[in-house]
Chains A and B, each alone.
Chain A
Amino acid sequence: MSAETLNRIRLTVNGVDHDLDVPDRKLLSDVLRQDLELTGTHVGCEHGVCGACTVQFDGVPVRSCLVFAASAQGHEVTTVEGIGNDPEHPSPVQQAFIDCHGLQCGFCTPGFITTIDAFIKDNPHPTEEESREVVSGNLCRCTGYQNIVKAVQRAAELQEQDKALAAGSSAPSGSGGCCGGGCCGEGSAE
């Protein structure tokens, strides 16, 4: 039930097609959160600066608050849930944020994760400077970014380990990267 005209759109989100009836003016961020109940995408400014709502749009990071859902038809949208939705099995970037204490309140985190996930696919061995640069379009008010930059490098390292495992070879044991696996969470009991 709605008071305004709805139009049928077909969205491909996290690999699944959805037929939805939404007003033309509805932002992709709102459709993801409200119509698809994918509330991991957060809305922080609605003018494209903060980056909390960043999703992958045909594989590249885009602000979902600056795209109308109607315009997203025919494109592949991936949200943080599409990168990993299981707390027991986080993706490499998600695990890296845990390892490096890359989040505090967690509100901006999904936008960082979608951004970094796209980045390390193309840049499997980022330098510290590149790691800082890639997250310089997302605002975080809690962490001071230092551990997020670490998380970029840790994520790349975990991605390499996953690739090595998939290729059947043994994973490099805690070598390379920022911290050899322990990152800032050394001595972890978990």
Chain B
Amino acid sequence: MKPSPFTIHRPTSVEQTLELLSEFGAHGKIIAGGQSLVPVLNMRLAAPEHLIDITAVSGLSDIVVHDGDVEVGALVSHARLEHDERAHAAQPVLRAALKCVAHPAIRNRGTTVGSLAHADPNGEMPMILALTGGHVDVVSSRGTRSLEAAELNVGPLETCLESDELIVKAVFGGLAPGQSADFAELTRRTGDYALAGVGMVLSADPDTGELTGLRAGFVSVTDLPDILDLGGVVAGTQRAEAAALVPTIAQAVEEFVDPVGDIHATADYRRHLAGVMAGRVFTGLISGAVPGRETEEAA
């Protein structure tokens, strides 16, 4: 299990990176943490001629909370983002989901933006980007563009990125006043890919406690990080009475997801599990046990 030959390039600036990307086109591949890529290389399931190692590029290592949103540079590791208190305060679902990304040693090296570029439907972070209404900032020698999750992800393990493009930053939407969010998944072992995972953002009127919106995203049970809007189910319900909505939400989720069976679980089971996990996340959110954003000042 040793990789095929390749040349490693270690640019130190975004400009150099873009030049290398333009030069190598489809023969080049960006590597940051490499925690998904290197196993693939070691198993010789891929054999790029050039690896563009961006870990020495300056200016991509910041976590910034700006206007309530969390901006994450391309070199920020899962672990750094997971432990960042300001990011957590702005969007607690980040930490909730990041704790489920593989094991700590992988999170120490793997980058959040890297997992977005990898676009694995079994990965947590592509869904979290979609759930939080986030986007990525992409640059190439041709210019820059901003892509929402729905635009970025075009298929399992497939993004719309061109071979000369680099994601420099991901922006995760923060919680608005009255919102709370959480994530839960069931795995076979700690750190494994989820059998099914569910993230939710619940919106409520901060004054009356009346629920106004609910969005749900899924891991391992949809091909793409599609978001299910359950606003119609919850709107107008008082938080205290919302527990009665759990069966309706579970059913809506079961109808929405489209899992595939494999050696770890049948498709039916995953569908059922997605419904159960959705009910549990929702129950946690309406109970108030999950800290949300109460007021404008809290962020």
Whether A and B touch directly in their complex, counting CB atoms under 8 A apart, is answered as yes
B55 at the binding interface (Cβ < 8 Å): yes
Contact B105 A68 (CB under 8 A): no
Chain B contacts of A48 at CB under 8 A? 35, 38-39, 106
The total number of A-B Cβ pairs within 8 Å is: 87
Category for how many chain B residues contact A: 20 to 34
Chain B contacts of A21 at CB under 8 A? none
Contact A54 B5 (CB under 8 A): no
Chain A contacts of B13 at CB under 8 A? none
| Given the contacts A47-B42, A48-B35, A137 and B103 also touching, CB distance less than 8 Å | yes
Instruction: From the candidates B4, B39, B56, B104, name the one contacting A47 in the complex (CB within 8 A).
Output: B39
A179 at the binding interface (Cβ < 8 Å): no
Contact B5 A23 (CB under 8 A): yes
A74 at the binding interface (Cβ < 8 Å): yes
B31 at the binding interface (Cβ < 8 Å): yes
Contact A46 B5 (CB under 8 A): no
Complex Cα–Cα for A54 and B107 (A):
13
- Give the residue name and chain of the A residue nearest to B79 (CB): A60
Interface flags, B1-39, vs A, CB<8A=1, else 0: 111111110100000000000000000000100110011
A143 at the binding interface (Cβ < 8 Å): no
Complex Cα–Cα for A24 and B102 (A):
27
A134 at the binding interface (Cβ < 8 Å): yes
Contact B8 A61 (CB under 8 A): no
Complex Cα–Cα for A61 and B79 (A):
11
Contact B38 A67 (CB under 8 A): yes
CB contact list, B29-72 vs A, under 8 A: 31, 34-35, 38-39, 41-43, 51, 53, 55-56
CB contact list, A104-160 vs B, under 8 A: 115, 134, 136-137
Contact A71 B53 (CB under 8 A): yes
Instruction: From the candidates A51, A57, A65, name the one contacting B42 in the complex (CB within 8 A).
Output: A65
Complex Cα–Cα for A27 and B42 (A):
9
Instruction: From the candidates A25, A47, A136, name the one contacting B6 in the complex (CB within 8 A).
Output: A25
Interface-centre pick from A54, A62, A134 (highest chain B CB count, 10 A): A62
A37 at the binding interface (Cβ < 8 Å): no
Jot down 6 A-B pairs with beta carbons below 8 A, ordered by A: A24-B8, A47-B42, A54-B105, A61-B105, A66-B106, A137-B102
Sample of 19 more A-B contacts, CB < 8 Å, known A27-B38, A67-B109, A71-B34: A24-B5, A24-B51, A27-B3, A30-B2, A46-B1, A46-B2, A46-B39, A51-B103, A57-B108, A62-B109, A65-B38, A66-B34, A66-B38, A68-B51, A68-B53, A136-B190, A137-B102, A137-B103, A137-B104
